[in-house]
Chains A and B, each alone.
Chain A
Amino acid sequence: ETGVTQSPTHLIKTRGQQVTLRCSSQSGHNTVSWYQQALGQGPQFIFQYYREEENGRGNFPPRFSGLQFPNYSSELNVNALELDDSALYLCASSLDGDTEAFFGQGTRLTVV
């Protein structure tokens, strides 16, 4: 148990729809990062939030957006879903950007 929880665990959406994934960080952690993991690949960095501000972004289009709330929980929003967005989405929390990050179990998104 890492103390990081994600919801929902599984989700099926239709191409073109929008989706919101949620993450509750480990208590006391002020940094949250989101990753996309396609089958057979390592996790790919989407973006990071530190104290409610975006603090870095990977090579993902603007239809991937996020929020971090005052209690440090977070959301990942994806608009205009594409088939290639099907993946395991992981969030990770850490304290002040420490490289020891704690990952949630992930949300398995399937786009049909």
Chain B
Amino acid sequence: LAKTTQPISMDSYEGQEVNITCSHNNIATNDYITWYQQFPSQGPRFIIQGYKTKVTNEVASLFIPADRKSSTLSLPRVSLSDTAVYYCLVEGYSTLTFGKGTMLLVSP
């Protein structure tokens, strides 16, 4: 049973805000929600992590409702260089479980 469910792909244009939603109905009490970004032939890169409510850093925001059964990664004003695969993970420890991720394509 997959721990997370997210769209396979999304398309956007430069300058737009992109929201990627992830479902994690079976999240455990001690699990954190973490998002990674991966470019082709590179290792994944940590973007943001949260437990509940809203977290914001210099590159993204993460919205988590009270029931924690889903989360939304928000990328403000995307650029072409944001084209990548985005993974949503729910983990209580660093043995990370990756799904297939969401392939985000940003066009001019």
Contacts of B14 in A (CB 8 A): none
CA distance A97 to B30 in the complex (A): 14
A42 engages B87 (CB within 8 Å)? yes
Say which residue of A2, A101, A108 sits within 8 Å of B96 (CB atoms): A101
Which stretch, A12-20, A43-51, A63-71, A78-86, touches the partner chain B?
A: A43-51
A100 engages B45 (CB within 8 Å)? no
A97 engages B93 (CB within 8 Å)? yes
| B97, closest chain A residue (CB) | A45
Which residues of A are in contact with B by a Cβ distance under 8 Å?
A: 2, 4, 31, 33, 35, 40-45, 48, 56, 58, 88, 90, 92, 94, 97-106, 108
**Could you list 17 A-B pairs, sorted by A, with CB under 8 Å?**
A4-B43, A33-B95, A41-B100, A42-B100, A43-B96, A48-B94, A56-B93, A92-B44, A94-B94, A97-B93, A99-B34, A99-B91, A99-B93, A101-B96, A103-B43, A104-B43, A105-B42
Tell me, yes or no, whether B13 is within 8 Å of chain A by CB. no
B94 engages A43 (CB within 8 Å)? no
Contacts of A2 in B (CB 8 A): 43, 45
CA distance A2 to B39 in the complex (A): 14
| B90, closest chain A residue (CB) | A99
| A96, closest chain B residue (CB) | B94
Given contact pairs A42-B87, A108-B41, A101 touches B46 in the complex (Cβ within 8 A): yes
Say which residue of A90, A100, A104 sits within 8 Å of B46 (CB atoms): A100
CA distance A100 to B93 in the complex (A): 9
Contacts of B99 in A (CB 8 A): 42
Say which residue of A4, A33, A40, A108 sits within 8 Å of B94 (CB atoms): A33
